[in-house]
Structure 1
């Protein structure tokens, strides 16, 4: 998964659960609050282990079907 795809994936999930991407990262991988902006700015990127943990969290916590 390219970084642009990861950013879009996290943004889409965050929107679907009515949260900010920073919140998703914090819950999924214990990321600091500024890590998301660092990823978006291209200043840093996650390890594959963190990407795998993030994807596993999203898979285990799908949006509720009754969420509007």
Structure 2
């Protein structure tokens, strides 16, 4: 199994394109911890799941602040 983490705007497109590939799964890059609302550069876990994400990326290097 390979998990691909496309940008949020491409998540549903990837899920549709990979529908006939059981070895490919989808994940969300930037999931915000609130259930709903406006989050610049992120989506809620509910939205990610509705788009077809089964995983989320935690601690992405571009989002960490040192």
TM-score range, shorter chain: under 0.3
Q: Which structure carries more strand by proportion?
A: 2
- More relative contact order, 1 or 2 (CA 8 Å, 6+ apart): 2
TM-score for the superposition, normalised by structure 1: 0.25
Q: Larger C-alpha radius of gyration, 1 or 2?
A: 2
